[in-house]
Amino acid sequence: MTVCTGNICRSPMAEIVLRERLAAAGLGDQVEVDSTGLSDEERGNPVDWRARAVLRRHGYPTGEGHRARQTRASHLQERDLVLPMTAAHARALRRLAGGDPAARARIRMFRSFDPAAPVESGQPEHVLDVDDPWYGPEEGFETTLAEVEAAVDGIVAHVRSALDYRNGLTD
């Protein structure tokens, strides 16, 4: 599950791209991908028109039928991997997880899977934030898509490894 603030820009873009890459890797029927937002301000709203335009230009589905929904604590127990877009989202998710160490362990910064991201030990978590395009021009959505695309192959590899382990295909 990908998570951002309102579930109309970053997290649905990431959901769509990740779903497409998992399908291309032959894992689409084994993995369910969804997205939520921490805020309820956008609940029920579709994917932002600028995000849809950028996705369309790059050959992705545009999230028709998507309706923003708010993250619930139960999501953190039900999902194997929770991918916040920013450090602030990760902190909010950890608070929502409370004292559940298993749920907290499933929360991983989305860009931590980008091999070019600054993930050196001791770096503050916010260096992995996916840019928020909401307040800027459409070009910001291009930046967001590029950051998402840079991380998804690492997520696909992680998911493949987890599935192999779960299915007893690795040592």
CA–CA separation, 23 and 5 (whole Å):
26
Q: Is 10 a catalytic residue?
A: yes
Q: Is 4 a catalytic residue?
A: yes
Residue 2's DSSP bridge partners are 35, 83
Given the residues 91, 132, 153, 160, the one annotated as active site:
132
Given the residues 4, 50, 79, 114, the one annotated as active site:
4
Given the residues 9, 10, 19, 129, the one annotated as active site:
10
Q: Which residues are catalytic, by number? A: 4, 10, 132
